[in-house]
DNA sequence: AAACCGGGGTC
DNA sequence: GACCCAGGTTT
């Protein structure tokens, strides 16, 4: 159904020319587009996963200044890398990137692999990032199918598969493989993504300005608003916590490092107590003493924080407190000065608490 | 195949 | 609020 016949070759060649010439004319000037090294392409593609261009730009500039090459990133402390990534989200991207870069330095003499097999085995490099590096950095005709490309191709070729399902990506990859330019796969792939970002938008696509309107089956049948078809994911669960800003007699503040797996792995936070463990202040003090080994005085309510993740909603009820006795149990955190806190990576929700200090 | 994993912009 | 964003990993 989506297969390309010999009769389509001419049509595809016109599509390639229309897309590429448009891209070369209107493309945005982005920091990772100025004669990029494979490492620069790699870093930018990881940062751009599920993240808008405008959000990434300042992070990319700072990251490249601190870690200009694989050797610099490989040698860095993980905590410093996370601090540089702070606020960008999906923190496993940063940890996987460093793991993979260390492998490139030790196994490939610091040269980013230029083949699908080795690239695909690197941590955090999936089908999209692999294709992006091969096409953009090495000019190989490999598909790089992201959310933009799924939407653009599903409209151009009237693909009615549910793009929320893994099967759809395989179909789109097959279509792109048949259409991609052998002369300039970099501009072809980037052109598809640029088209999705600037013209072929999810809502109210600007079909009047589209360089490949003549090739679009959805436009021909006035289906552009109906495609792509995407099933909606279920809504988030809500989790309620009390978060505590606890000071000791030296005005240092209790913080703890989160576990190395799961949500916000290896980031730092202020102590959080699940609301169902402590309905009253007395229960809260009791529970905290049991878990942490120290006695606290809970003072005033500081603020409420609502934080939305992709799959959870946090409601944080923030109180100030002082520690009045006892001995902090091993591994339950440490009291640090305000200056020391600034060196540590915190999730955005807890940065809002830190601002209250 | 479905769930997990952040944070911010848009409509 | 719902959806989306230059996705990947784990279960």
Q: Say what the pLDDT of residue A20 is.
A: 98
Locus of tokens 């800003």: A245
Q: What is the pLDDT of residues A213-272, one digit of tens each?
A: 999 999 999 999 999 999 988 889 999 999 999 999 999 999 999 999 999 999 999 999
Q: Say what the pLDDT of residue A286 is.
A: 95
Q: Say what the pLDDT of residue A125 is.
A: 98
- Taking the domains of chain A in order of start, what are their residue ranges? 6-221, 237-355
Nucleotides of C under 7 A from a protein CB: 2-9
The answer to whether A38 touches A133, Cβ cutoff 8 Å, is yes
Q: Is the CB of A269 under 7 A from strand B?
A: no
**Residues by CB within 7 Å of nucleic chain C, which ones?**
A 30, 33, 44-45, 48-53, 90, 92, 96, 123-130, 132, 146-148, 151, 190, 193-194, 196-197, 202, 230, 232-233, 235, 310
A45 assigned to active site: yes
The CATH architecture to which A6-221 belongs is Orthogonal Bundle (1.10)
Residues 92-111 of A with CB under 7 A from strand B: 92
Q: Say what the pLDDT of residue A3 is.
A: 57
Alpha-carbon Rg for chain A in angstroms: 25
Q: Say what the pLDDT of residue A7 is.
A: 62
pTM: 0.95
Q: Say what the pLDDT of residue A233 is.
A: 85
Residues 313-352 of A with CB under 7 A from strand B: 347-349
Q: Say what the pLDDT of residue A35 is.
A: 86
The CATH architecture to which A237-355 belongs is Alpha-Beta Complex (3.90)
Q: Which nucleotide is nearest to A310 (CA to C1')?
A: B6
Q: Which residues of chain A are under the pLDDT cut of 70? A: 1-7
Spanning CA of A178 to C1' of C8, the rounded length in angstroms is: 25
Q: What is the pLDDT of residues A161-201, one digit of tens each?
A: 999 999 999 999 999 999 999 999 999 999 999 999 999 99
Spanning CA of A111 to C1' of B11, the rounded length in angstroms is: 44
């Amino acid at each position: 159904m989506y297969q390309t016949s010999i009769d389509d070759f001419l049509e595809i060649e016109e599509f390639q020319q229309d897309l590429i010439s448009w891209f070369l004319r209107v493309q945005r000037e982005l920091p990772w587009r100025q004669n990029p090294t494979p490492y620069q392409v790699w870093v930018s593609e990881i940062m751009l996963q599920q993240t808008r261009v405008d959000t990434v730009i300042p992070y990319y500039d700072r990251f490249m200044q601190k870690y200009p090459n694989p050797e610099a990133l490989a040698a860095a402390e993980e905590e410093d890398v996370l601090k540089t990534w702070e606020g960008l989200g999906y923190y496993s991207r940063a940890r996987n990137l460093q793991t993979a870069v260390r492998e490139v330095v030790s196994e490939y003499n610091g040269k980013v692999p230029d083949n699908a097999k080795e690239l695909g085995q690197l941590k955090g490099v999936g089908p999209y990032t692999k294709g992006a590096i091969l096409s953009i950095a090495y000019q190989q005709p490999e598909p790089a199918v992201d959310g933009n490309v799924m939407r653009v191709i599903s409209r151009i070729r009237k693909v009615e598969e549910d793009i929320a399902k893994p099967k759809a990506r395989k179909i789109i990859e097959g279509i792109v493989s048949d259409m991609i330019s052998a002369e300039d796969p970099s501009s072809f792939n980037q052109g598809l993504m640029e088209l999705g970002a600037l013209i072929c938008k999810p809502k109210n696509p600007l079909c009047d300005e589209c360089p490949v309107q003549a090739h679009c089956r959805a436009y021909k049948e006035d289906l552009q608003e109906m495609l792509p078809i995407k099933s909606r994911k279920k809504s988030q669960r809500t989790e309620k916590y009390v978060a505590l800003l606890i000071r000791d007699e030296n005005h240092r503040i209790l913080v703890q490092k989160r576990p190395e797996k799961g949500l916000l792995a290896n980031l730092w936070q202020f102590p959080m107590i699940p609301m169902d463990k402590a309905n009253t202040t007395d229960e809260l003090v009791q529970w905290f003493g049991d878990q942490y080994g120290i006695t606290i005085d809970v003072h005033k309510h500081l603020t409420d924080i609502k934080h939305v993740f992709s799959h959870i909603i946090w409601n944080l009820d923030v109180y100030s407190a002082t520690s009045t006795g006892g001995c902090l149990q091993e591994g339950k955190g440490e009291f640090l000065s305000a200056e020391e806190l600034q060196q540590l990576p915190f999730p955005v929700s807890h940065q809002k608490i830190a601002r209250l200090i």
